[in-house]
Chain A
Amino acid sequence: AQKVTQAQTEISVVEKEDVTLDCVYETRDTTYYLFWYKQPPSGELVFLIRRNSFDEQNEISGRYSWNFQKSTSSFNFTITASQVVDSAVYFCALSEASPGSARQLTFGSGTQLTVLP
């Protein structure tokens, strides 16, 4: 069975600080995808990134960066120079991708990020 753990329930930072959101996953599949979503108070899930299990390159997109480490089953998300607009709940998710696998998204419990001005 697949499982995603986000141990940080809530994080509060002051604007312009860097912040890292942790994600640890479990799966028996050798082929899988990992995701990060942002959920603002409006409730809609906003897609941020997708990585497949064969691509361990870290990725940077503007102020966002992601660190994927298969050896520790982690897919952490860093926001550099945080802004008030980054305040939201962030979810890490996993989808198994081998033939015959379930393919639905399994989400972690989310991390509430609050950026104070």
Chain B
Amino acid sequence: DAGVTQSPTHLIKTRGQQVTLRCSPKSGHDTVSWYQQALGQGPQFIFQYYEEEERQRGNFPDRFSGHQFPNYSSELNVNALLLGDSALYLCASSRFFSPYEQYFGPGTRLTVT
């Protein structure tokens, strides 16, 4: 039973560029949440997707957008990258009606130069 997978593992981008991160949820899960974890801090909630719609959103600008596909996988897109976007991006999957069992992926380390 595959857990949550994320790609790529690491990514280096330049300020102003755009980036797409990918997440495949654990088998049987239909909900994907994204978190940003800056160095030395706890993860912060970006948004959550269920039934291909954004259901909840944290305090992040519109430069952060996402998508969920019919197979429940998800993408996180960040436009006009800033140095401050450098962080570990974590994906968590769950079942919508059991939201308190969230399983996290290994994360994507994004560095913006």
Contacts and interface: CB of A to CB of B under 8 A. Distances in A.
B30 to A, nearest CB: 14
Contacts of B92: 45, 105
Interface in B67-113: 88, 90, 92, 99-107, 109
Contacts, number: 53
Contacts of A68: none
B42 A45 contact: no
A110 B103 CA distance: 18
Contact of B99 (A37, A45, A103, A109): A103
B107 A43 contact: yes
Interface of B (DSSP majority class): strand
A95 B100 contact: yes
Contacts of B33: 104-105
Contacts of B48: 104
Given A43-B107, A44-B107, A107-B43, 7 more contacts: A43-B88, A43-B109, A104-B48, A104-B56, A105-B102, A109-B41, A110-B41
9 contacts: A37-B104, A42-B106, A43-B88, A43-B107, A45-B90, A47-B103, A91-B43, A104-B33, A105-B35
- Ranked nearest first, the 10 interchain pairs of A and B with the lowest CB-CB distance are A107-B42, A104-B45, A45-B104, A44-B106, A43-B107, A33-B100, A103-B99, A109-B42, A107-B43, A110-B42
